[in-house]
Amino acid sequence: MKVICVAQQKGGAGKTTIVSNLAVAYLAEGKRVALLDTDPQGSLGRWMDIREETFGEDDMLHFATATAYGISRAIRSIRKDADVVLIDTPPKVDSDVRWILKEADLVLVPVSASKADVWATNDVLDLAERAGTATRIVLNRTRAGTRVGDDVAQSVAELGARTLDATLSHRVIYAEALGHGIGVLEAKRSATVSDEVRALAGAVSAELDG
């Protein structure tokens, strides 16, 4: 079982979008997926509620809420039922989040096309390093060929952290899919976006297997 945590101090960076789309991508690969929501805002839980209202329960997909201090127990309770655990975290970085990072095999840090996201990343990287957990930055809502996009990419490179080659672009379909309790792979409206998500899932799996 592999445990993936998605963390970023700044709200709105795309944590829940990444978690939900990775979940659907791994389900499509036949993997058993468990979702743990440690964010009091409960966006991932709402996504799951809408999904079950629409499609019914899925034996391959499990969901639970957890606190930072209870994360170890929560992971142990689902160990036999999951191949992949995805953890959504609150939009803050403090000593409590360290307990979550410590339990992960990999921490994904989403950074969208905003310098504010870059500025908020250092604390996550520092805590993950203290926890001894590998981190990878995921560029989200990218705008290829724009000055802002180039500036953010350069700023991320200066952080010294490793960045996944796979990125998610700035497209409305991501927000629409989240609101309907699905992933973009299930929306079946854009092969390009589906390829982005598959590439991200593959890149994350490669990091875990490597």
| Alpha-carbon torsion, ordered 22, 135, 204, 48, to 10 deg | -10
pLDDT for residue 205: 96
Per the CB < 8 A criterion, the answer to whether 115 and 152 are in contact is yes
pTM for the full predicted model: 0.92
10-59 confidence digits (pLDDT tens): 777 889 999 999 999 999 999 999 999 998 889 999 999 999 999 999 99
pLDDT for residue 35: 97
Higher pLDDT, 204 or 78: 204
* pLDDT at 114 > cutoff 80: no
Residue percentage of the chain with pLDDT more than 90: 56
pLDDT for residue 36: 96
Residue 77's contacts (CB-CB under 8 Å, 6 or more residues apart) are 64
pLDDT for residue 98: 84
* pLDDT at 116 > cutoff 60: yes
Higher pLDDT, 147 or 165: 165
127-154 confidence digits (pLDDT tens): 888 889 999 999 888 766 555 556 766 7
pLDDT for residue 157: 73
pLDDT for residue 182: 97
Residue 42, exposed/middle/buried by CB under 10 A (0-12, 13-18, 19+)?
middle
pLDDT for residue 56: 95
pLDDT for residue 161: 79
Higher pLDDT, 96 or 23: 23
Summary mean pLDDT of the chain: 88
- Measure the CA–CA gap between 134 and 7, rounded to whole angstroms: 12
pLDDT, mean of residues 179-195: 90
2-209 folds as Rossmann fold (3.40.50)
pLDDT for residue 136: 92
pLDDT for residue 91: 81
